[in-house]
Chains A and B, each alone.
Chain A
Amino acid sequence: MGTLAATLTLSDSTTFSDAINFSVTDSLTTTAPAQGLTIQTITTADNQELVDEGTSGVFYFFARNTDSTNFVILQTEASQQYARLSPGEFCFFPINDGNGLEARADTGSCILEYAYWKKG
């Protein structure tokens, strides 16, 4: 279906004696289905599904919390919490086949920007 080039750069020149500065790039082959860049309001209600666990495949998932105050919790469809995305922060990771992904705002509704692509 298509290829994605995903590049992460981490840098910090002020904290440690040895500055952190590295970059990693991955070339990903994707296939259908994919979810293009989407803006979604995430409320404090539980079980707001972003990726359906019933859709087979490994998905590469990107999300960014556009809110300036509140954080978003990411969890599997079994409500296993594993990440909180603070205001302005983003993440990129693979979602395991059959896990699905849900989001929930902690304190107030947040606008989450997200997209995912199925591994080809």
Chain B
Amino acid sequence: MATTTASLAINSPDLQPGNRLTINASSLLMKTGLTEGLDIYDAGTGELTVLMSHKKLHDSLGTTDTSNWMYLANHGTDDTHYIEVGLRDTIIGRLYAGDWMFTPWNMSADTAEWSIEAEGGTQKYEYAFFKSTYVLADSAQGTINP
């Protein structure tokens, strides 16, 4: 059983004068319900160019209502460029240079794929998925050992 811990710290010394902001949160990643452990981990890095247009970061798993997590970071350095992040046909948000996001991913439909697109210029990205289930796709080779 996987025991993946996610911790978040948000701090600000100047958001509100005299009231320093300090948020800390930590949790174990869980399967649907309260079962701990997402056993499937998929991570990597890449580079997006504007010409590449809309690219699929991760296909939907085709399994409804499972608990999964997505981490994505924009390692670009130009503040004016950003990566547009979409889920299905909805743009979730923009990741500017240095920004990251960490969010649960519920596939209520088999079209719930993540997509990314570079805006303004070429940008490097880093991603990680923590998944409940994953079914290997059929091989185009057919039966290996008939």
Contact = CB atoms under 8 A, between A and B. Distances in A.
Interface of A: 1-12, 14-16, 20, 24, 26-28, 30, 34, 36-37, 58, 62, 64, 69, 73-74, 76, 78, 80-97, 99, 115, 117, 119
A16 B32 CA distance: 21
A contact face: mostly helix, strand, loop, or mixed: strand
A92 B90 CA distance: 18
B87 interface: yes
Interface in B14-58: 14-16, 21, 23, 25, 27-30, 32-34, 37, 39, 41
A30 B30 contact: no
B contact face: mostly helix, strand, loop, or mixed: strand
Nearest to A9: B7
Contacts of A83: 103-106
Contacts, number: 162
B113 to A, nearest CB: 11
Nearest to B40: A15
Contacts of B16: 2, 36
The interface size bin for chain B is: 35 or more
B70 to A, nearest CB: 9
Given A90-B8, A99-B90, 11 more contacts: A1-B15, A4-B10, A4-B12, A7-B8, A12-B41, A28-B99, A82-B88, A86-B104, A90-B27, A91-B103, A99-B93
